[in-house]
Structure formats: C-alpha cells, structure tokens
Amino acid sequence: MTKLVEWLGAAGLFVGVWAYLFISTPVGHSTDFARHFVLFLPFYALLAFAVISVSIIAWRVYTFNDCEEAAKELKQEIEDAKADLRKKGFKIE
Amino acid sequence: MEHRDKYSVLLPTYNEKENLPIIIWLLVKAFTESGDDFEIIVIDDGSPDGTLDVAKQLQTIYGDEKIVLRPREKKLGLGTAYIHGIKHATGNFVVIMDADLSHHPKFIKEFIGKQKEKDYDLVSGTRYSGNGGVYGWDLKRKIISRGANYVTQVLLRPGASDLTGSFRLYKKEVLEKLVQSCKSKGYVFQMEMIIRARQLGFTIGEVPISFVDRVYGESKLGGNEIFQFAKGLLYLFATT
C-alpha cells in the first residue's frame, strides 16, 4: 500500500464518519453550536494541524544547531592539510 | 581466518580541484587514526578545472591502492557515479559523501561504531537530530530546510530524521541493491534510497553530523530546486 493510498483510505474513513455524524445522528439536526461544530470539523482539524505544524517547524528552526566550532576546526585543518601536503611534494596553487 | 572489514569511500567530484587534496588528506588522517582498512575511489566527471590531475598527484603521494581513480567523460549524475564506483570497490562497506568539505571524515569512525552496534545495513548522517547541525545557513535556508523535512516526515513517515543528507555508510551489497532500484535525481535520489531501504527491510542507524556549508553564498537554493523537490516528494508519496 502506498502512502497515497493510505491517506486516501484515512480521508475516506474520516469523511464517512463525519457524514454519518451529520446525517444519521441527532447532532446534525440539533443545536446551533453542535451542528456548526460537526459541520466545520474538517476545517477545524486542518486549522489545528496547520497551527501545530507551524509551531513545530518554528521550534526546530529556532533550535537548529549552528556548528561554529566545526567551521573553525575545518579552517584550521585546511591550513594543516596544505602545509603537510606541500611537505609531501604536492604542488598547491 | 578473520575477515577484515574494509571501507571504500566513494567521492564523486566535479570541479573540486581545491577541495580534493584537503578532503583526501582528512580521510587518510581519519582512517589512519582509527586503524580501519580503506580506499578512496575518486569518480571525476570530466572536470574542466583539472580535478583529475590533482587526483593523480595525490595518487602518487598516497599510493594507488589507497587512491583509486575511476573518472568519467562528463557529468552523468550521482546514481550512475555510485554504480560506477561500486564496480571497482574492494571494500565490504561503502561510504558516500560530498567532496566539498561539507562532510567531515572524522564522523566516519562514528558511522563505523554505530554500524557495529546492531549490524545496521546502513548508517545515515543526520543534521536534524541529536547534536547534528549546520554552519553557514541563514534563517531563510533553515526555514526551507526544516519545512521541507517536516512535510517529508508527515507524508512519508520514513523512520529517518534526515532524508536528503548524503553522508552515509552502506554495506556494499545493500548499496548495490538500492542504487539499482532508485530512479530519481539530486536531493530526491538520496530520499528515495532511504525509503526503498525501509521498504526492502534494511535496518537504518543514525549518527548526528555537522554540515559546514561554504558554498551557500554562491549556490542558492532556487525556485527550480524547490519545485523539483516537491515533484520528487509527490512521486515518492504516490509510489511507495
């Protein structure tokens, strides 16, 4: 099963449950609030997902390691390498 | 008689005449310190800047058993470079990495150690977990990177934190099998390798690495690359 099929399956299930809730249960014909909530459930779910996603991404960007040490180390090693290679007969430009 | 492990490092190069001596020096240093048996296979794609001549000089210094040259006529892509390189590899493990000094050979020892922990089929260097990280990226680049990785994680649930990374250790036969089944190019190729590895039941270990980007200023992550990435992601989403 590909991921696409998995997602289509999950979406189908969600839509099925949602439609059932709306059509065959009292909620669909009841108070304004409950009806409104169920009707817009997919929208709210997507909104919640978007908000959570953006938060996760923002956090990960914020805590992204900046490898200052690695860059410094590399700079030094480049000099060491050039010196050693010259000694070994390498023609560096 | 005990069979000794040997590590073949595949180094595809294109216009790396300045970085090649350094990366080879660092590789020799790293392997000499760890004591592991190794060879470095340089796959130059007809670099106009004379990278191959530089490689030949290094070969006379370090010997042709340690520096193996397998050049090609022109730029033919990463997948075929790996296939070409593996054909001549005498090691039972293969390390793939970039030749532009963004990947540091000092991590290879950690890859080897990780691999031995559970006899992993492949070990992937990750910039996104543990104390992995990047040097040289501005805010915009970081956002794109983390954003793309997040979307990939949600859509593909790959079981690896860094899919577009190209600093990895593979068992030779695993790499051979995977390269044959991967059709994509560029970033997506590396992603596909991990996805297919999971599909085929191969085990994947991870090691945090530091990625030092010294070319970011020159080579931008353009709209076209992002488009290609999105296309590749959708392809993998629909077919795996």
Contact B104 A91 (CB under 8 A): no
Closest partner CB to A70 (pick from B145, B154, B212):
B212
pLDDT for res B219: 62
pLDDT digits over A18-30, tens only?
888 877 777 656 6
Contact of A89 with chain B, judged by CB distance below 8 Å, is answered with yes
In 3D space, the residue among B21, B34, B167, B198 whose CA is nearest the CA of residue B94 turns out to be: B167
pLDDT for res B185: 78
End-to-end, the C-alpha distance of chain A in Å comes to: 56
pLDDT for res B2: 58
Judged by average pLDDT, the poorest of B2-11, B89-98, B107-116 is B2-11
Q: Residue B29 is encoded by which pair of tokens?
A: 């240093």
Judged by average pLDDT, the poorest of A62-71, B25-34, B71-80 is B71-80
CB burial readout A78-87, b (16+ within 10 A) else e: beebeeebee
The CA distance from B28 to B62, in Å, is: 9
Note the pTM of the prediction, 2 decimals. 0.89
In the block, which residue shows the tokens 């997948």?
B79
Chain A interface mutation, best of B110, B210, B213, highest count of A Cβ atoms under 10 Å:
B210
* Three-class SS state of B12: strand
CA distance B237 to chain A (A): 5
How far is it between the farthest Cα atoms of chain A?
A: 88
Mean of per-residue pLDDT scores for chain B: 92
Chain A interface mutation, best of B17, B20, B22, highest count of A Cβ atoms under 10 Å:
B22
Asked if residue B1 has pLDDT above 60, the reply is no
Q: Which of residues 11-70 of A touch B (CB under 8 A)?
A: 53, 56-57, 60-61, 64-70
In the block, which residue shows the tokens 């590789």?
B27
CB B238 within 8 A of CB A1: no
Asked if residue B15 has pLDDT above 70, the reply is yes
pLDDT digits over B20-58, tens only?
999 999 999 999 999 999 999 999 999 999 999 999 999
Measured between beta carbons, which residues in chain B are less than 8 angstroms from residue A54?
Answer: none
DSSP B168-201: EEEEHHHHHHHHHH----HHHHHHHHHHHHHHTT
Q: Residue B8 is encoded by which pair of tokens?
A: 């073949």
For domain B6-238, is the CATH number 1.10.760.10?
A: no
The CA distance from B99 to A2, in Å, is: 35
The sign one gets for the Cα dihedral B169, B171, B176, B180 is: negative
| Element spanning A20, H or E | helix A3-24
Contact B101 A81 (CB under 8 A): no
Asked if residue B86 has pLDDT above 70, the reply is yes
Domain ranges of chain B: 6-238
Asked if residue B238 has pLDDT above 60, the reply is yes
DSSP B73-103: SS---HHHHHHHHHHT--SSEEEE--SSSSS
pLDDT for res A34: 76
Contact B26 A77 (CB under 8 A): yes
Asked if residue B153 has pLDDT above 90, the reply is yes
Asked if residue B175 has pLDDT above 90, the reply is yes
CB B61 within 8 A of CB B31: no
Asked if residue B228 has pLDDT above 90, the reply is no
Alpha carbon separation from B41 to A3, A76, B5, B67, B82 (Å, rounded): 37, 25, 17, 6, 10
C-alpha angle B74/B77/B82, rounded to 5°? 105
